[in-house]
Structure 1
Amino acid sequence: MHETLAELRAAIHTLLKVLDPEQVRALRAAPSRLDAPELREWTYLPGSRPGLSTEGLDGVQREAADAVLAAAHSARGAELALGAIEVERHRRESVGAPGPDRYWLRLLGDPDGDGPWGWRMNGHHLAVHVLVAAGELRVTPHFIGSEPARITTGPQAGRRLLGPEEDLARELVTGLDRARRTAAVFAAEPPDDVLTRADPFADPGLLPSGLSYGAMTDPQRQLVERLVRRYLDRAPAAYAQACWSELEARGLDTLSFAWAGATAPGDRHYYCVQSPDFLIEYDNTQDDGNHAHSVWRHLRHDWGIDLLRAHYTDQHTAPDPGAELDE
């Protein structure tokens, strides 16, 4: 983890060096406390956000911003995050509206200080939230979307940014026998988006219970494990492994999988995986099943709230930090 945090700091320092003072002010536009409720407001829809826009960055500045984004991910996760930007670029060009990328980067706190700090990058189909405190890292909520889910024209034709996320789940549901499929499939018509949307705090009660890990065969369990790891492994290896180890300690039997919609490639569909600690959602329902959303939420780690609570409690900077953080 130490190496990852050093890389994060180095990437931020490089970015700060290539920005002009006005851009640095935009980058640092944030409340003084990292647990401020407004910092839990987010969206993966088009539209402006607070922070530094990538729209006006020159080539060197944009390269530095991309390096910041990559530094909070594994190599595979960086491909997905940067890939969401590339697919969005293709979408704009395909509808005759080419132009600069519009994402917003926001630096929170002081990366060289002793207190918590972090950053986030948000825009259409990309929402990455990073918080660092006490030598630990948090990276959720983490949202990646792809419109189109499958590119059909141009030099990227055939590209499916979230293809493995879809294919693993489809292999799982289509391999179920009738009784298990009855437990897993909760609706013939899928929801039009992930059920937790952009809620500040994810509510697992919104998700169907589905088929439990304990009720699966060994090959089915292996598929759901691979699917979960696909999402966790977006993060740097140390944090991804910590989340997986936490799941193993609780018991993999706490996992469940649910599906809605048809199962043939190209059909509109949705699935979710949940545990007591995190949830995963995926939908490919809009644009006739060619517009995918995927999100990983951690029920205790989102926004780094667990780290912030510990920090503010230790520092005695809030009379009741738990109440503020849980509002």
Structure 2
Amino acid sequence: MARAGLAEPFQGIRCNGSVSRDPIPPALAGASLAPLLEAARTFLASLDAPQRRAACLAIDDEAWRGWSNFHPWLMPRNGVCLADLGHEQREAALALMRETMSATGYQTARDVMRLNEHALEITGKPEEYSEWYYWVSIFGTPSPEGPWGWQIDGHHLNVNCLVLGDRLVVTPTLMGSEPVLARFGKYSGLRVFATEEEQGYALMSSLPPEVQAAATIGTVLPWEVFGGAFNDNRHIEPGGLRYGDLPQEGRERLEVLLAHYIGYIRPGHSELRWEEAKRHLSDTHFAWIGHVEDTSPFYYRILSPVILVEFDHQPGIVFDNDLPSRDHIHTLVRTPNGGDYGKDLLRQHYLQCHTDEHGAHTHSHTGRNVAEAPK
């Protein structure tokens, strides 16, 4: 049932009033992705032949869309599992994430993995939880010019990255945790998503009551973020309040919150993404589900033609609570209008390849394009 959405051709998250995405921006000066390319080549070189066969997929493989937040063995996974790799191989895999994300983004992702180990300490279920139950795939052949990408897929951590020269797309990205605070054990004191929770609540609580009411689209929290796994083509009504209808303080707080999520991406590219988001602030909506109380769980959403951010408090899985609590959080960042997985970037790239000024250059993107370790 969960994979039924994958049978549909990819269109991307859609919303009323959405507009076409901007053309491919020029390569970002001073923000080379050479370190990420080197990390990919180093990772591939660390693998033996069977591991490389498992890790390497075609650039247009539908495995891109098969990521899932479900427990590791409930769904088939693509790529190589970090639990099956040696220390140096794991470090090489983590370098992909480190070179893609900012220091804050990387720290959050690693802390999500560590808290998945804490879930094992709580439950005593090594078949379900581990710091290393995450699968890494390489799509296409890492190169300075051609498109390629990578994915990490597992419980509460799903990152998809497409690279084209020095251009970068890092969506969909889902990160979550239960619990969000380790109260004992190996990672005692570790906490995630405090900023995302506190800034979202501060934004909503700063609004006058009548504005809060206009932003609220429901009181019963969804069981999952709307744009989660297998929802690549979901239509989402903007709902809530348009950016321009928020009071000045609300607009400022919304910008700070949106910039925080965009700041998961490596420096330079996050600034480029932020400039894109700012150009569409007039079409950006903020929506809230739940109550506005100090301890109550809640959901919020920021939706524009170029970015979707979701935050949701969830019911318990590690803990036995049927109602949402602040101890289980999911966050999501997507690129609506066909931008996820770099699909729109790839589409424009192939269009350019097929229509160069001489009409002679063609670029096939079908078939299995298997990455190889550097020779």
TM-score by length of 2: 0.78
Matches within 5 A, 1:273-312: 273-287=302-316, 288-289=324-325, 290-299=327-336, 300-312=338-350
Q: How does 1:209-228 map to 2 (within 5 A)?
A: 209-228=239-258
Name the amino acid aligned to 1:274: L
Q: 1:324 matched to which residue of 2?
A: none
**What does 1:149-164 align with in structure 2 at a 5 Å threshold?**
149-154=180-185, 156-164=187-195
**Partner SS state of residue 182, structure 2:** coil
Question: Separation in 1 of the partners of 2:245 and 2:160?
Answer: 34
Distance 1:265-1:152 versus aligned 2 partners, 3 A rule = farther
Corresponding residue for residue 230 of structure 2: 199
The residue identity in structure 2 corresponding to 1:146 is S
Unaligned runs of 5+ in 2: 1-27, 317-323, 355-361, 367-375
Which residue of structure 2 lines up, in the alignment, with residue 314 of structure 1? 352
Whichever residue aligns with residue 233 of structure 1, its letter is G
| Larger relative contact order (Cα-Cα within 8 Å, sequence gap ≥ 6) | 2
2:267 alignment partner in structure 1: 237
- Spell out, residue by residue over 1:70-118, the C-alpha distance to the aligned partner (whole angstroms, 9 max, x if none): 1110111111111111111111122113456211110111113642111
| Other structure's SS at 1:45 match | coil
Relative to its length, the structure with more helix (as a share) is: 1
Q: Percent identity?
A: 33
**Which residue in the other structure is 2:207 paired with?**
176
Answer yes or no: is the 8 Å Cα contact 1:202–1:297 preserved in 2.
no
The aligned counterpart of 1:78 is 106
1:138-188 per-residue CA deviation (whole Å, 9 max, x = no partner) reads 110011111112333335445331111111010111121111011111112
Name which of structure 1's ranges 184-193 and 151-160 shifts more when overlaid on structure 2.
151-160
Write the distance in 1 (CA, Å) between the matches of 2:228 and 2:143. 34
Partner of 1:69: 97
Aligned match of 2:68: 43
- 2:299, 2:45 → 1: CA distance? 43
SS in 1 for 2:33: helix
Q: Indicate the residue corresponding to 2:119 in structure 1.
A: 91
Q: Which has the larger displacement, 55-64 or 10-19?
A: 10-19
1:320 shift after superposition: 12
Work out the CA distance in 1 between the residues paired with 2:209 and 2:295.
Answer: 22
The code of the aligned residue for 2:96 comes to: V
Question: How many residues end up aligned between the 2 structures?
Answer: 316
In structure 2, give the amino acid aligned to 1:234: Y
Worse-superposed segment, 284-293 or 123-132: 284-293
Cα pair 1:209 1:257 within 8 Å, conserved = yes
Q: Does 1:60 align with 2:88?
A: yes
Give the whole-Å Cα distance in 2 for the aligned partners of 1:163 and 1:186: 24
8 Å Cα contact 2:228-2:332 kept in structure 1 = no
TM-score (norm. length: structure 1): 0.89
Query: Deviation at 1:211?
Result: 1.6
Unaligned runs of 5+ in 1: 322-327
Aligned with 1:260: secondary structure?
Answer: strand
Instruction: Note if contact 1:42-1:200 (Cα within 8 Å) is conserved in structure 2.
Output: no
Distance 2:43 2:124 in 1: 32
Distance 1:133 1:144 in 2: 24
